Amino acid sequence: MNFDPRYSTRSFASVGTRPIRPDGVDKVTGRARYGADFNMAGQLVGRVLRSPHAHATIRKIDTSKAEKLAGVKAVITAADLPDLTDGDAAMYDILDNCMARKKALYDGHAVAAVAAVDARTARQALKLIEVDYEVLPHVVDVDEAMKHTAPLLNDAIFTEGLEEKPTRPSNITKRTQFGHGDIHEGFGQADFVVERSFKTEQTHQGYIEPHACVASVSSDGTADLWVCTQGHFVYRQHCAQLLGMEASKLRVTSSEIGGGFGGKTHVWAEPVALALSRKAGRPVKLVMTRDEVFRASGPTSATSIDVRIGARKDGTITAAEATLRYSCGPYAGMWAEIGAMTAFACYRLENVRTVGYEVLVNRPKTAAYRAPSAPMAAFAVESAVDELAKEIGMDPVEFRIRNAAQEGTRSSYGPVYGPIGIGPTLEAAKNHPHMKVPLGKNQGRGMACGFWFNFGGQTCTDLNIGMDGSVSLAVGTVDVGGSRASLSLVAAEELGIAYEQVKAVVADTSSLGYNDMTDGSRGTFSSSMATISAARNAIKILRERAAQMWDIPVDDVVWEKGHTIAKGEKYGNLAALSLREIAAASGKTGGPIAGHSELVADGAGVSFATHICDIEVDPETGATRVLRYTVVQDAGKAVHPTYVEGQYQGGAAQGIGWALNEEYIYGKDGRLQNPGFLDYRIPVCSDLPMIDTQILEIPNPNHPYGVRGVGETSIVPPLAAIANAVSNAAGVRMTHIPMSPPRILAAIVAERGG
């Protein structure tokens, strides 16, 4: 299908309004069904046995006693998930993470699983499984893991990306480098240089809904999987490959999802549930406990970053470089690479170089977390930028405006920017009333910028017009935060009908073509593009049907505001036909009317934001309070502004938790000390102020309505904005996230000279 995605200026009737979401009533009445809310007849309870060791060779697993326990219907180990990955290293890592094969690589790594008639029996069965471990030395710290003396997680890893292949294995899987110009020359031109090292601790996405699924494998080789996921088509592919099934034989239905933020883009328990069901011959429900969610799913990288930036007296940055080390858990990742790409993306730089190192540690496999890897890089860079502005004696906003990337700037990671929002968000922040609110004692103001690429990807959408003229929109991108509302608005806009006339659903994997998962802030961007394309295809058919009803050439029929109109004076007496009228006649004019779209949504416009916050620090305890918080971000075009605001506020709140409180704490034994919401404390209602938002709309030239993804960028600036505010309030530069009270107090005491 020919589809022109280019933006053209237009006025909107539906897009930009704020109707109630179509899935709303079910969610406020408790009717909406999430991962754990689904049951099947005869279903068993699945449970997973996890390694208590950070690093251990699995010598032997004896499941015989568990198998004999009354009520146990299946026990599986890695032997029940044979390696079918055929040399695909990434898939092998997924398989090994789902069920440890030779070694347990972190506290919480799955080693066996059972399916039993009830939860109590399943728990008892786990206790009867005997695992013979040989405990090995472990390493959880990213800097420690890079040392030659560190315990090796995988002796087949030789660092990629070096000029020569190293002679010995290490925990560094890969080195990547980005940039342009000559940084030595650039630093030579600098009057001021700031050089700092930073650390950030590991955090979890913290979705309130634990991973949950129900798997049912039939003896004919077909299977159903009900699961909370950000990408049911990707889950189908991964599960089918790991279990040796044809993808079309496995139907995956995505439940309502209780938060994901990147954490539900990876399979963990699903292949295990399918393997249990296959062995037991019955459906199996597998729901993680919160402890398992923390120990075995999720987390983002812990990082260690060095930054050096130089500038002239006039405030022009002459050179910038960063070295970024990101923990990946026990398997290769590209987390430092993404950090290295995003680090300086906000700025117009002649000379820039970033180097990333991917580092294996005995922690859970790193998963994407909202703009993955960008917040830590922004923390380091934006802290140094603030410090440099201070040394030069410039206002931090003015300094950033002077160096901000513009249309035509070659980005630090390669591409040349089109129209972008970094300058406008900075100008809006500069002029925001927040900047003029007076600060009191022990209070500080900080600001910072953030960038995220955004993603498009493979997208397939069906738009079916019922005989009554109502519209069913079937999309394949999971709705993580209101996208059914925004996509209904887009369908209504394009067709020229009322929002209420459209019903959007997320279709299962057997009902629609392949869709990439909802990641990269792509849900509304890409599915709205596919919806527009599908609607335009439907309109073409509607025009043909009207032409047939009128018996005139289709070229003389145009579509306007939900009606066909016969163009030209000779048709003066033909009354416009509404979508309802054409739909009602469809049985006699050629059958059902539908528009389909299959496309790769290229051209996701990059996204920028600027955040401002005020923090009060208690110098006696190191405790902090967030007084005010403002988010300014470019949305391209806000389809449903209320949910755009929600994305801005939610990202900011997660960033506040990360900056001030959240961290994985490991004991000397390599075990996670705080796998629960009591000790891993995410922000609660009384921790936060209202979060002010300002939506800017700089149209994305590669989307018909100018839409950009909005979901992720809002978590990029907070770490740095808060660090700058705390540093200003406490009078000491904070370099370690989270800035928990003990860390702030220690920094204040050290600054005072002990």
User: Is residue 365 a contact partner of residue 95, using CB atoms and an 8 Å limit?
Assistant: no
Residue placing its CB nearer to other proteins in the complex, 156 or 685 = 685
In the complex, minimum distance from the CB of residue 662 to other proteins, in angstroms, rounded to a whole number: 11
> Which x/- pattern, by CB under 8 A, does the window 64-103 give for other proteins?
----------------------------------------
Distance of alpha carbon 750 from the chain centroid: 37
Report residue 443 as tokens: 């209070």
Q: Rule CB under 8 A: choose which of 25, 90, 416, 749 binds other proteins.
A: 25
Residue 533 makes contact with other proteins by CB under 8 A = no
For 80, 154, 500, 672, the CA distances from 87, given in Å and listed in that order, are: 19, 17, 50, 32
- For other proteins, the closer of residues 207 and 525 by Cβ is 207
> For other proteins, which residue of 3, 13, 16, 37 counts as binding (CB under 8 A)?
37
Strand partners, 565: 558
Query: Which tokens sit at 392?
Result: 């030069």
In whole angstroms, how close is the CB of 433 to other proteins at the nearest point?
A: 17
Residues 196-225 that bind other proteins (CB under 8 A): 205-210
Cα–Cα distance for residue pair 398/393, rounded to 1 Å: 11
Residue type, 641: P
Applying CB under 8 A, among 13, 32, 152, 623 the residue interacting with other proteins is 32
Least separation in angstroms between CB 298 and other proteins:
12
Closest distance to other proteins from the beta carbon of 33 (Å): 7
Nearer to other proteins, 298 or 330 (CB): 298
Beta carbons of 339 and 374 less than 8 angstroms apart: yes
CA distance 589 to 586: 5
Binding of residue 430 to other proteins (CB under 8 A): no
- Secondary structure class of 418 (helix, strand, coil): coil
Quickly count: other Cβ atoms within 10 Å of residue 684's Cβ.
9
Distance CA 40, CA 187 (A): 65
The span from the first CA to the last CA of the chain, in angstroms, equals: 70
3-class secondary structure, 390 = helix
Residues 255-274 that bind other proteins (CB under 8 A): 256-261
Structure token pair of residue 207: 């979705």
Among 290, 410, 430, 540, binds other proteins (CB under 8 A): 290
Minimum CB distance to other proteins smaller for 89 or for 208: 208
String of contacts with other proteins for each residue 104-143, x by CB under 8 A: ----------------x-----------------------
Q: Least distance (Å) from other proteins to the CB of residue 290? A: 4
User: Which of 142, 601, 652, 716 contacts other proteins by CB under 8 A?
Assistant: 652
Report the nearest approach of other proteins to the CB of residue 706 (Å).
22
Q: Residues in contact with other proteins, total (CB under 8 A)?
A: 56
The 4-23 contact track toward other proteins, x by CB under 8 A, reads: --------------x-xx-x
**CA-CA distance, 363 to 105, in Å (whole number)?**
7
Lay out the site mask for other proteins across 676-715 (x = CB under 8 A, - = otherwise). xxx---xxxxxxx-xx------------------------
Q: How far is the CB of 532 from other proteins (least distance, A)?
A: 23
HEC states along 164-227? Answer: CCCCCCCCEEEEEEEEECCHHHHHHCCCEEEEEEEEECCCCCCCCCCCEEEEEECCCCCEEEEE
| HSE toward the beta carbon, residue 226, CA cutoff 13 A | 18
Cis amide leading into 738 (omega within 30): yes
Which residue in the set 425, 654, 702, 728 belongs to the binding site for other proteins (CB under 8 A)?
654
Q: Give Cα 570 distance to the centre of its chain.
A: 56
Window 623-642: residues binding other proteins (CB under 8 A): 642
Closer CB to other proteins, residue 13 or residue 688? 688
Per-residue binding letters, 307-326, with other proteins (x by CB under 8 A): --------------------
What residues are paired with 463 via a beta bridge? 473, 595
Q: Name which of 368, 370, 329 is nearest 108 in CA terms.
A: 329
Q: Could you say whether residue 643 binds other proteins (CB under 8 A)?
A: yes
Tell whether residue 481 is a contact of other proteins (CB under 8 A): yes
Task: For the CB of residue 503, give the shortest distance to other proteins in the complex, in Å.
Answer: 17
Distances (CA, A) of 500 to 31, 468, 576: 20, 13, 22
Considering the complex, state which of residue 564 and residue 624 has its C-beta at the smaller distance from other proteins. Answer: 624
Task: Report the alpha-carbon distance of residue 603 to residue 703 in Å, rounded.
Answer: 7
Binding residue for other proteins (CB under 8 A) from 271, 315, 520, 650? 650
Using the rule CB under 8 A, give the single segment among 164-172, 273-281, 351-359, 644-652 that binds other proteins: 644-652
Per DSSP, the residues of 491-559 read HHHHHT--GGGEEEEE--TTTS-----S-TT-HHHHHHHHHHHHHHHHHHHHHHHHHHHHTS-GGGEEE
Stretch that binds other proteins, among 189-197, 399-407, 452-460, 474-482 (CB under 8 A): 474-482
Nearer to other proteins, 316 or 694 (CB): 694
Q: What is the 3-state secondary structure (H, E, C) of 434-450?
A: HHHCCCCCCEEEEEEEE
Binding region for other proteins (CB under 8 A) out of 192-200, 442-450, 599-607, 651-659: 651-659
Positions that interact with other proteins (CB under 8 A): 18, 20-21, 23-25, 27-34, 36-37, 120, 205-210, 256-261, 287, 289-290, 480-482, 642-643, 645-646, 649-650, 652-654, 676-678, 682-688, 690-691
